[in-house]
Structure 1
Amino acid sequence: MLADDMLGKGRESEDLGPYYAAFDAMAEEGANRVIVGERDGEVVATYQLTFISGLSLAAARRAQVESVRVSSALRGSGIGALMFADVEARARAAGCSLVQLTMNAERVDSRRFYEGLGFVASHLGFKKYL
């Protein structure tokens, strides 16, 4: 699913070894969840949810959403909205007061989707590859 989009095609690997190792590491950390949506036995959606305790915003606990994917054949069908209803329910249950995410600036459709769900592009993000 990670390679099933315009950006993932060029950056994801066919070697599954690193992905399995990352999944194991995430499970050991305890604050990570990988949520998978299925339809008729086929994976059609996924996202990663990480709970983060923080000091700012009156010691707000956050839910960080990453790796959001919906099968290209099903985009626009409402699955994304269902996924984010699930994100919010899990975040509330974990005591989070906000949900945050980052997205690649090239994902214009994704930005419209997130804004339609009530997300606000309130911060400027930076990355530095090591």
Structure 2
Amino acid sequence: MPAFVRRAIPRKPPLTFCPLSRNARSPFAGFPQTPPQILCQAGQVTDTQRAVTPLLTADVDGGTFRLRHATPADLPAMVQLLADDALGAGRETAQDMEPYQRAFDAIDADPAHFLIVGEAVPVGDQAGPVVATFQLSFLPGISRQGAWRSQLEGVRVAASLRGQGLGKLMVGWAVAESRRRGCTLMQLTTHHSRSAAHRFYEQLGFEASHVGMKLTL
């Protein structure tokens, strides 16, 4: 078998999760179906406005947190969150932030892609530390009768806050925003080694319905 073919076939590919139908019992049943309007289409708001205008503020077991659009100033904290596990530690580095900045600029310029951060809200309602992040994208497609789908990526929560409800808050907001925008499906991939992540998404109604594959270029 040619080397490039062998490389294209992972030994154990990542799982691809898709949600249960809307008729199934949803863990987001009590979550607002019409969340606050996403603020930023490219160039419409300033970084200062994004940093101070929350998309959602809520109490979870770990305290009070708010979700907002990421700004360039959040990049170091976001990279640190991405690197805070066995897989991320081997592929992320804060020593050179230029590639991350280029990626941020490309995402920020595209109205179909959003970077969201979660920050702790300390006493006095001042800016708190960034403790979570995720990317949400909206994708058109011909299949499923021309359905739009949303894609969830890079979901990270600080290790000290995992299991306290912040992850569910973020995914719940993403699900509600996706429905508001007319998406009929949300999809994500998670590495086969992340068994805790598999359980987390299954508890939220996602199904391991597909086998995902990736090819390093």
TM-score, normalized by length of structure 2?
A: 0.59
Residue in 1 that maps onto 2:191: 104
2:88 counterpart residue number? 8
Task: Tell which structure's C-alpha radius of gyration is larger.
Answer: 2
- 1:122 corresponding residue in structure 2: 209
Shift of 1:111: 0.2
Aligned to 1:24: 105
1:59, CA displacement in angstroms?
1.3
1:92-112 per-position Cα deviation (integer Å, ceiling 9, x unaligned) = 121111110011111000000
Question: Counterpart in 2 of 1:80?
Answer: 167
Aligned-residue sequence identity (percent) comes to 52
Equivalent of 1:54 in 141, 149, 152? 141
RMSD: 0.9
CA distance in structure 2 between the partners assigned to 1:53 and 1:8 by the alignment: 29
Q: Post-superposition shift, 1:30?
A: 2.0
Structure 1, unaligned stretches of length 5 or more? none
Ranges of 4+ aligned residues in structure 1 off by more than 3 Å: none
Which amino acid letter does the alignment assign opposite residue 129 of structure 1? T
Relative CO higher for 1 or 2, CA cutoff 8 Å, sep ≥ 6? 2
1:36-59 Cα offsets, whole Å, 9 max, x none, are 000031111110000001111121
The residue type equivalent to 2:103 in the other structure is A
Distance 1:122 1:112 in 2: 14
SS of the aligned residue for 1:49 comes to: strand
* 1:31-50 equivalences in 2 (<5 Å): 31-39=112-120, 40=122, 41-50=128-137
Give the length in aligned residue pairs.
130
Quote the Cα distance in structure 2 between the aligned partners of 1:90 and 1:57: 20
Distance 2:183 2:161 in 1: 29
Question: Is 1:113 paired with 2:200?
Answer: yes
Greater shift in the superposed pair: 65-74 or 13-22: 13-22
Runs of 5+ consecutive residues of structure 2 not aligned to the other structure: 1-80, 123-127
Higher helix share: 1
In the alignment, the residues of structure 2 paired with residue 123 and residue 76 of structure 1 have an alpha-carbon distance, to the nearest angstrom, of 26
Kindly provide the amino acid, as one letter, of the partner of residue 104 in structure 1: H
| Partner secondary structure for residue 216 of structure 2 | coil
Moved more, 104-113 or 20-29: 20-29
Amino acid at match of 2:216: Y
